[in-house]
Structure 1
């Protein structure tokens, strides 16, 4: 199986690369940090996988389009769009430059890469596109407006692609994890509910992919709490959000 993974030099991307590193898989790993990506690639090769690395900042949209064109020289079985950043949880207004870069990484870069790839998948009438979103996409806290907005946009994009590509035999999946111990979440300075280890998070994500779950949010109790929160009257939601924000110290 030929699997492409973005953001593969650390966090979930690196863990996913190592999970799929078997002698049955041909991996293409994309990330901007060359030394770290090379380290992950070597570990994957030691586990038997064929590995190609591509050093690129996903915010270089023209480059991502060119990479997409090169990737379609061979059949693509699965592409996991994992590259993402966060500005952390902080009060105040996010500077436009940070907001723009976050949206570029988490959302715009996705289409830049997929634009030349989607016609290839349609022509081969097979393939899987996996978006790594977040539970933060389901409810926006005042301390994560930029991040939640970018992930909610990603959800909308993937939903539309699902309907567009399903008739062509292509599976589009959106995975929405809660807090998973990673380089991104280690910056948080508050108690993260239902925090999972990386191994547990990868187990849940890969299980959902193998079962071809179109939309999968986890952990269940955290997801249920968010779903219930969205159904409450606005006045009660305001009180809960204000209390939660106070507990974060924001």
Structure 2
């Protein structure tokens, strides 16, 4: 299986690469930090996998489109769009520069890469596209407006692609995890509910992919809480959000 993983030099991308690093798989790992990526690739090769590395900043859209053209020359069985970022939680107004960077990284870069790849997947009439989103996409807290907005946009994009590509035999999956130990979540300075280790999170993600879950949100109790709160009257939601922000110290 030929698997492409973005943001593969650390965090969930690194863990996903190591999970799929077997002699049966060919990995294409994309990230901007060469030393980190080379280290991940070395460990994947030690596990028996054939590995190609591509050094690129996902915010360089022309570069991403070029990579998409190159990747499309060979069959792609699975592409995991994991690269993403957060600017942490803040009670103030997010500066435009941070907002722009979040949307470029978490959303626009994805279409830059996929635009030339999707026609190739349609031609081969098979393949999987996996989006790593977040439970934060389902309910926007006032301290994470930019991040939640970028991930909600990603969900909408993935949903449309699902309907567009399903008739062509292509599976589109949106994975929405809660708090998993990673570089991104280590920035948080508040108690994270239903926190998972990297290993626990990766086990959930890869199981969802294996079972071809079109929309997979976990942990289930956290997801259920979000759904219940979303159904409450606005006045009650306001109180819950205000109390949660107070607990965060925001």
TM-score, normalization: structure 2? 1.00
The aligned runs of 1:197-216 (5 Å cut-off) are: 197-216=197-216
> C-alpha separation between the residues in 1 aligned to 2:95 and 2:80?
29
Match of 1:249 in 2: 249
Is the counterpart of residue 187 in structure 1 residue 187 in structure 2? Answer: yes
The unaligned stretches of length 5 or more in structure 2 are none
Match of 2:11 in 1: 11
Displaced runs of 4 or more, over 3 A: none
Is the counterpart of residue 76 in structure 1 residue 85 in structure 2? Answer: no
3-state secondary structure, aligned to 2:195? coil
Match of 1:21 in 2: 21
> C-alpha separation between the residues in 2 aligned to 1:90 and 1:10?
24
> C-alpha separation between the residues in 1 aligned to 2:247 and 2:194?
16
Match of 2:127 in 1: 127
Deviations 1:203-232 (A, max 9, x none): 000000000000000000000000000000
Shift of 1:197: 0.3
Match of 2:62 in 1: 62
Count of residues in correspondence between the two structures? 250
The unaligned stretches of length 5 or more in structure 1 are none
Deviations 1:101-150 (A, max 9, x none): 11000000000000000000000000000000000000000000000000
Is the counterpart of residue 145 in structure 1 residue 145 in structure 2? Answer: yes
3-state secondary structure, aligned to 1:129? strand
> C-alpha separation between the residues in 1 aligned to 2:41 and 2:93?
38
Shift of 1:73: 1.2
CA RMSD in angstroms comes to: 0.3
Shift of 1:193: 0.1
Shift of 1:27: 0.2
3-state secondary structure, aligned to 1:110? helix
Shift of 1:91: 1.1
> C-alpha separation between the residues in 1 aligned to 2:234 and 2:39?
49
Match of 2:46 in 1: 46
> C-alpha separation between the residues in 2 aligned to 1:85 and 1:140?
16
